[in-house]
Amino acid sequence: MTMGLLVSTLGPLLPGIRAEFGVGPQDAGLLVSAVPLGCIAGTLIVLFLNRRFHARVLLAATGVTMAVGLVGAATTPSWWLVCGSLVIVGMGYGAATALVNGVIAVAYGSRSAGLLNLLNGVFGVAAVVGPFVVSGLAGGLPGLPPRFAYLPYVLVAIFSAVLVSRLPTGFSTIPEGAAAPEVLADSPSRGPVRNTQLQSYGRLALVAAMLGSYVATEVAASSFATTHLLAAGADAGTAVRATSLFYVGLAGGRLLVVPVAARIGAGRLMLGCAGLAAGLLVVTWALPLGGFTYLLVGAAMGPIFPTALAWVSGQGLGRDALPIALTAANIGGLILPPIIGAVIGAVGATAAPLPMAASVAISALLISYLLFSARRSSVK
């Protein structure tokens, strides 16, 4: 819930932060990329430290790290210090993402796809609330920068650190034993496929690239929805609401697939969701409908991320597979926002959904290739 609150608040605050420091859309894209940059560092730190410390110690440290970064983001007087503070927030956020998803994936095994969708659905519910919280707080701070609305989140981050410090020491992101590799197939009835370790790592690389394209789209949609709708002529309330609508859809999509995730199959579920999201983003560009298209985009995208994480954790590729995939995913979130900022600077913010559509379409293509290669291997 803490992570959901944090991830959805930069978009509504971004116009005010830009006005405070007098920066253009390209610099705003760099600010949006600050959190994914920190996420990359955070997941790499987990990759190193999860061999040495209990998951509960590392999880508590992520809450403290986010709190420190939030204090800096709210109070530092320099644009670049704000960017640096959000990198620190991202470090805590990225480490928490790897740890939380890793603990659930290891603890629940074959049930992890549904439970990870449920867990990430809770994240989405909190992300719905975030924009309204910071918008209300920013409006009640006369004479102070809007980013001071981050300060109450410091208490939330510290509270989360206290809660996770009470987890049993047995909780871990490290599997007890190597799971049997599973193919990304349409249905479990296709039977096991013998793959070399090199082929398994090749699948991991493709899923990592797919996650990178997905995360890039999610970060961009949540951060630029407000900017896009303001440029399309919407009023400020409608524009801010779009970010919440996106996360309503994200949470709803994840919660709705919980009962059926195992029956649909990881491949078909992710492919259908990615293709639908690409089409809906094109619709969002052509006809925003007061931001309600972002609700549909979020619903389509929601199941992709947790389903892919569950698949990665079931491949028997070792305890480092999930942090490696998440690192690649955050690289995508680092690359796309500056590109969208450049598009906005060149042709206007109304075109912002188009590079998002291209990014999630790349995810669909990669999933299609994974499914095709799985079928080809099963025939052999």
pLDDT tens digit string along 320-376? Answer: 777 778 777 777 777 777 777 787 778 888 888 998 999 899 999 998 987 887 666
Residue found by looking up tokens 């309330």 in the block: 237
Instruction: Give, as one character, the DSSP assignment of residue 170.
Output: T
Give the whole-angstrom CA distance, residue 149 versus residue 138.
5
- Structurally, the chain folds into a number of domains equal to 1
206 burial (CB, 10 Å; 0-12 / 13-18 / 19+) is middle
Confidence band of 197 (pLDDT split at 50, 70, 90): low
Give the whole-angstrom CA distance, residue 125 versus residue 91.
22
CA-wise closest residue to 25 among 329, 249, 230, 166: 230
> Could you write out the DSSP letters of every residue in 144-184?
S-GGGGGHHHHHHHHHHHHHHTTS-TT--SS-SSPPPP---
Q: Which domain does 104 fall in, by range? A: 2-379
Evaluate whether 104 touches 328 at the Cβ level (below 8 Å): no
pLDDT tens digit string along 59-76? Answer: 899 999 999 999 999 999
pLDDT tens digit string along 85-125? Answer: 999 999 999 899 888 887 887 777 667 777 888 888 888 78
% residues pLDDT > 90 (the chain): 18
% residues pLDDT > 70 (the chain): 85
Query: CATH code at 345?
Result: 1.20.1250.20
Structure tokens that stand for 311 in this block: 């698949």
pLDDT of residue 260 exceeding 80: no
